[in-house]
C-alpha cells in the first residue's frame, strides 16, 4: 500500500488571471486566508451569521478576481450557515483550506 501524501505534495490548482489583477490577487488570497481563520473561530463559537456573511462576500467576489471555485465555496458556506448545517460548513471550511494550500496563480499573457 502506498502511504498517503501530505497536502503539500498534492497536485496544484492552477488559476489563470487577467494581468490587470496581478497586483491585487495576493491581497485577495490573503484575505481569504483570514476568512478561513475567522470561519474556524466562528464554528467554535457557533457564530453562523458571520460565516453566512463571509460566504456571501466570497460568492460575490471570487469570480471577479478569477476564482470561480472560491465563489462556489462561498455559496455553499452561505447556504449551509442559513440551514445551520454544521457538517457542510466544516466540509466547506476544509475545501477552502485545501484550495488555498494548493492554488497557483498564473497571469494570462
Instruction: Say whether pLDDT at 9 is over 70.
Output: no
Instruction: Say whether pLDDT at 1 is over 50.
Output: no
Of 48, 14, 55, nearest in space to 32 by CA: 55
Domain ranges of the chain: 49-109
* 69 Cα distance to chain centroid: 7
Average pLDDT, the chain: 92
Q: Are 25 and 17 in contact (CB under 8 A)?
A: yes
Rg of the chain over Cα atoms, rounded to whole angstroms, equals 15
What percent of the chain shows pLDDT beyond 90?
Answer: 89
Distance CA 70, CA 75 (A): 9
Strands 13-17 and 103-107 come out as parallel
Distance CA 96, CA 58 (A): 11
pLDDT for position 54: 98
pTM reported for the whole predicted model: 0.88
What are the tens digits of pLDDT across the range 39-91? Answer: 999 999 999 999 999 999 999 999 999 999 999 999 999 999 999 999 999 99
pLDDT for position 33: 98
Bridge partners (DSSP) listed for residue 105: 15
Amino acid at each position: 500500500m502506498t502511504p498517503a501524501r501530505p497536502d503539500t505534495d498534492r497536485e496544484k490548482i492552477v488559476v489563470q488571471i487577467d494581468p490587470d489583477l496581478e497586483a491585487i490577487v495576493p491581497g485577495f488570497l490573503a484575505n481569504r486566508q483570514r476568512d478561513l481563520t475567522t470561519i474556524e473561530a466562528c464554528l467554535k463559537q457557533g457564530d453562523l451569521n458571520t460565516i453566512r456573511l463571509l460566504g456571501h462576500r466570497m460568492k460575490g467576489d471570487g469570480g471577479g478576481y478569477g476564482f470561480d471555485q472560491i465563489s462556489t465555496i462561498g455559496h455553499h458556506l452561505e447556504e449551509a450557515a442559513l440551514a445551520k448545517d454544521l457538517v457542510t460548513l466544516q466540509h466547506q471550511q476544509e475545501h477552502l483550506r485545501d484550495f488555498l494550500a494548493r492554488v497557483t496563480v498564473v497571469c494570462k499573457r
